Structure 1
Amino acid sequence: MNGTPAAPRPRPVRISSDPAYLETIGPLLSAAQAAVGDVPALLDLAKAAGATAPKPGEGRTAYLWEILASVTAVDVAAGRVLEPHLDAAAILAQAGLKPGLHAALNGSPADGDFADSDGANVAGGHFSGAWGVFAAEAPGLRLEARETAGGWVLHGFKPWCSLAARLDHAVLTAHLEGGGRAAFAVDLTAPGVSVADPGWTSRGLREIPSGTVQFEAVPAVPLGGPGWYYERPGFAWGGMGVAACWLGGAVAVGRSFTASLRKAADGGREPDQIALAQLGEIDRTLAALTAYLAAAAARIDSGELAGKGAWQEALRVRGSVAAAVERIQSLVNQNLGPGPLAFDEQYGKRMADLSLYIGQHHAMRDDAQLGALTLTGDDPW
Structure 2
Amino acid sequence: MTEYRWLLPSVLLGDGQDGRTVRRSTRDWFVDIVIFALCAFGTLALLGELQASGTRVSDFEQLLAALACVAVWLRRRWPVGLCLVLTVITTYFILAGPPAAVALFTVAVHRAFNVSGPILLLNLLTVLPSAQLRPDPTLPFWVNVGITEAALLAIFAWGMVVRARRQLVWSLRAQADKAAEEARRLERERIAREMHDVLAHRISILSLHAGALEFRPDAPAEEISRAAGAIRGSAHQALQDLREVIGVLRAGDAEEPTPERPQPTLDDLPGLVAECRQAGMRVELEVEAGEVPERVGRDAYRIVQEALTNARKHAPEVPVSISVGGVAGQGLGIRVRNRLPARAGRGMGIPGSGSGLIGLTERASLLGGRLSYGPTPGGEFEVEAWLPWKT
Give the TM-score normalised by the residue count of structure 1: 0.27
Give the TM-score normalised by the residue count of structure 2: 0.26
Looking at CA atoms only, which structure, 1 or 2, has the larger radius of gyration? 2
Structure number having the greater strand percentage = 1
